[in-house]
Amino acid sequence: MFNNYLKIAVRNLLRNKVYSAINILGLAIGIASCILIFLYVQDELSYENHFSKSGRITRIVGEVIFEGHKDEFAVTPPALAPAVSRFSDIEAVTQFNRAGKQTIWYNNQTFTDEDLVFADSVFFKVFDYELLAGNPATALIAPHTIVLTEEMAEKIFGGVEQAMGEVLQFSRDSYTVTGVYRNLGHSHLNVSGLLSKATIDARTSAEERNTQWFNLNNYTYVLLQNEEQIASLQAQVDDLTQNHVNPWIKENKLNAQMKFIVQPLKDIHFDTRYMHSISSSGNISYVYIFGAVAVFLLLIASINYMNLATARSAKRAKEVGLRKVVGADRSQIIRQFLGESVLLTLIAVLLALALVQIFIPSFNNLTEKNFSSDFFLQWDFLLVILAIVLLVGVVAGSYPAFFLSGFKPADVLKSDKQPRGGSATLRRALVVLQFSISLIMIIGTIVVFTQMHFLKSADLGFNKEQVMVIDVPGGDSTLVQRLPVIKQKLLQNPNVLQVSNSYSIPAEPTNRTLLLMEQDGKMVEKTMDIIAVDYDFISLMGMEIKEGRNFSRDMKTDEKSGIIINEAAAKWLGWSEPIGKKVGTGENRVGDSSTRIIGVVKDFHMSSLHTDVQPLAITLAPESPGYLLARISPENQAATISFVEEQWRMFDQRHPMEYFFMDEFFDRQYRAEEKMLTVFGYFAGLTILIACLGLFGLASFTAEQRTKEIGIRKVLGSTTGNIVLLLSKDFALLVAIAIMLATPVAWYGMSQWLQDFAYRIDLSWWIFALAGLLALVIALATVSFQAVKAALLDPVKAIRTQ
């Protein structure tokens, strides 16, 4: 019997090649997309899994509430770890802090690295990385030791064994390699090496560290004795905050409240709230969106199967009737058709696996992931495949199976009585559903595209184009002192239009500081963002001074006592006449009244347009490390860049020049959205492709079914144009209904997405009109192919066929 079913199924597939191709191709594309998305989602959810104690590891993060404004930080004060280690239920506490950008010298080679941290000796007790060399318990105890990742060891020394015991020279001091560890899986800890924290601890006293509650620079991780103790840890931390930390802050006349929050390790990757995170975070909404897209694609492909199978059921009706006549009962027929859809799905799965193999490199590019093509050897993947086969095969197969098996042999075996091929209403509803989903995807793509265009072309309040940004390494004071020299040198090239140096640039996290601001004659504490720049920064950036003046070399007092604020700050402080207002800054913030506001700069975007312009203070620091900026002419750009490189080599032999362009750097803030746009765009294309495949099949079925009607109409004088219109009208109506259904859903969804941006486009009608028109044109193009074919049929033949 099984052989018989298989034969029938295979012969049916071969006989109806177009129909089979539509189904198999549609399903294969759907399943291939599903597999890729599954890999992506699984990868995103795999963070921290490789730590054997991951369930017991927690991170403590901080919230600082100041004047009702809450800031959330991934970093905590250095005093936190020693305090927590005295709590009960704790197995270990480790803390580390970022080393920042470092230049490393070894054997006449220079390396730069931004992902090093200073970690204490407990680190490996909490995070059980596999050590390829060295002893995890002792490797980080002594000062001036370093434990590297395998990749770093390979990069610098060419191997693990070669690295051990070697000495790496940093700008300030040197470190001996005492261990090499292997990164086994994804972790938010994107660290390239661990420097012993004992090195920097030696520079301060333990007393100082253990009492300091307002310097946020350490990451604190706690290993609990068991997973349930997270609440008890939170309670103990709250207790500490209430009885010790906040009183301490008050004692030190800092008008703020601190709160610490215990966070499970597994939650960190998707928690994007915290500033100064150790690495860029994932985005759980993209996991959800992609998951939904995968389900949609499968759904649309399954609908094709359901629609085409029922539409074509008239052709199978005789077989069903016969099988029943010779003794098949309904359940046997159902099983047969379910088997067929499972078989079809299996073929589609095989094709999908081939498609995935072909597209995995492009998908890796797109998602910046690194999936290997042997993914299908994992058991959980095989389970997913099995689930897909059963889900699609059984769910998509069950409607046709139940429908077909219900045929009465007495009806279908009489040649003059043919079943109508299932409920046309249901088929129409399913087509509407397919097109609604496609439309939502199209609208989404257009909205994201438009918003991205808006973000990139928006007036930032400064000109980000043609600004070359060169890294000025810190820790080398002679370099900073000689900055004016290189600035002069660079300006000798006529294509270098302006130069400046600045401690911070847009799209970099800014410092936040406590200032005393004059309000109603009193000095009031305010925290605000602050940047330090030189005389030329504002002019080079093309920023506009709205009131007062820019920093001036002629005013010797500017460096010590001149501050420029932005409009947002003036508004926030309630100053209608900001120029001349008193400010207390730095160590002298209490009582130093000689500092004044000298200018107000027009609002500009220090960070992406996700956020509003924050109140900002700009101070003058003509000689600071950070960045050297050069606005260069678009002419001869390559030559200008090599000129700058040449000058830099003469200026600083120790550090290789590292540079980037400001526009690219700034736009990198939209990378996540950019990525989503591309992925979304592709999948939107695929959804509409699969939906159109189905539409094509349905249109051909309708044309076939209405052959006689078309023939009669033509005999009665209908033109080809009339016929095409007649056949297309129905489908156009379905797309129109889909537009009406998709518009509110897409409008809601995309409004939610746009909430992420402080500056956003309006969801204007043309976006929906454009998407609708696009879907309509694509659908009609698909349908009209069949309609024209039907309309051109010889009417005599057409009438005779039925």
Partner 1 sequence: MSMQELIIDTQNLQKKYITDTVETTALAGVDLKIKRGEFVAIMGPSGCGKSTLLNILGMLDSPSSGSFKFLGQEVANVSERQRAKLRKENLGFVFQSFNLIDELTVEENIALPLAYLGFSKSETEKRTLQAMERMGIAHRRSHFPQQLSGGQQQRAAIARAVVSEPALILADEPTGNLDSVHGREVMQLLSELNDAGTTVVMVTHSPTDAEYAHRIVNLFDGQIVTENLNVKRHAAELL
Residues that bind partner 1 (CB under 8 A): 1, 4, 7-8, 11-12, 15, 318-319, 321-332, 408-410, 413-415
Query: What's the half-sphere exposure (Cβ side, CA atoms, 13 Å) at 205?
Result: 3
CB of 14 to partner 1, least distance (A): 9
Helix residue ranges, H only, 212-283: 230-240, 246-251, 265-268
The residue to which tokens 């309000």 are assigned = 519
From the CB of 422, what's the least distance to partner 1, in Å? 20
Q: Which is nearer to partner 1, 6 or 524 (CB)?
A: 6
Question: DSSP letter string over 398-422?
Answer: HHHHHHHHT--HHHHTSTT-----S
Q: Closest CB to partner 1 among 413 and 514?
A: 413
Nearest to 291, CA basis, from 44, 598, 637, 611: 44
Helix (H) or strand (E) holding 166: none
- With respect to partner 1, which residue has the nearer C-beta, 125 or 330? 330
Nearer to partner 1, 410 or 777 (CB): 410
Sign of CA dihedral 368, 370, 374, 376: negative
For partner 1, the closer of residues 410 and 485 by Cβ is 410
Q: What span, in angstroms and rounded, lies between the C-alpha atoms of 487 and 476?
A: 17
Helix and strand counts by DSSP (H, E) for the chain: 30, 24
Q: Which residue type occupies 694?
A: G
Question: By C-beta, is 124 or 407 nearer to partner 1?
Answer: 407
Q: Which is nearer to partner 1, 333 or 798 (CB)?
A: 333
Nearest distance from C-beta of residue 408 to partner 1, angstroms: 7
In the complex, the smallest distance separating the C-beta of residue 433 from partner 1, rounded to whole angstroms, is 29
Strand partners, 116: 193
Q: How far is the CB of 400 from partner 1 (least distance, A)?
A: 17
Which residues 6+ apart lie within 8 Å of 496 measured at CB?
490, 630, 631, 632, 633, 640, 643, 644
**CB of 268 or CB of 338, closer to partner 1:** 338
Residue placing its CB nearer to partner 1 in the complex, 318 or 369: 318
Nearer to partner 1, 282 or 321 (CB): 321
CB of 394 to partner 1, least distance (A): 22
* Residue carrying structure tokens 């946020």: 216
Q: Are 519 and 574 in contact (CB under 8 A)?
A: yes
Q: Least distance in Å: CB of 328 to partner 1?
A: 5
Residue 9's contacts (CB-CB under 8 Å, 6 or more residues apart) are: 339, 340, 343, 344
Q: Which pairing describes strands 616-620 and 522-533: parallel, antiparallel, or unpaired? A: parallel
CB of 418 to partner 1, least distance (A): 12
| 378 neighbors 386 (Cβ within 8 angstroms) | no
Give me the phi and psi of 113, to 5 degrees please. -150, 135
CA distances to 119, 137, 160, 172, 358 from 274, rounded to whole Å, are 20, 31, 35, 30, 39
- Give the tokens for residue 462: 């400064």
Closer residue to partner 1, CB minimum distance, 276 or 335: 335
- How far is 349 from 30, CA to CA, in rounded Å? 9
Cα torsion at 753, 757, 762, 765 (round to 10°)? -20
> What is the DSSP code string of 96-138?
EEE--SEEEEETTEEEEES-EEEE-TTHHHHS-PEEEES-TTT
474: number of Cβ within 10 Å: 18
Q: For tokens 């640039």, what's the residue?
A: 505
Q: How far is the CB of 746 from partner 1 (least distance, A)?
A: 41
Distance CA 792, CA 454 (A): 48
Closer residue to partner 1, CB minimum distance, 327 or 717: 327
Least Å from the CB of residue 339 to partner 1 = 14
Minimum Å gap between C-beta 11 and partner 1 is 4
Q: Count of alpha carbons within 13 Å of 758, Cβ hemisphere only?
A: 10
Q: Which residue lies nearer to partner 1 by CB, 234 or 332?
A: 332
Give me the least distance between CB of 4 and partner 1, in Å please. 6
Q: Which residues, listed in sequence order, are joined to residue 218 by a DSSP beta bridge? A: 76
Which tokens go with 366? 């797109």
**Cα distance between residue 471 and residue 490, in whole Å:** 15
* Min dist. Cβ of residue 332 to partner 1 (A): 7
Are 350 and 23 spatial neighbours (Cβ–Cβ below 8 Å)? no
Q: How far is the CB of 9 from partner 1 (least distance, A)?
A: 9
Give 412 or 430: the residue with its C-beta nearer to partner 1.
412
Half-sphere exposure of 519 (CA within 13 A, CB side): 12
149 versus 405: smaller Cβ distance to partner 1: 405
CB 414 → partner 1: shortest distance, Å? 7
Q: Determine the Cα–Cα distance for residues 16 and 39; give it in Å rounded to an integer.
A: 34
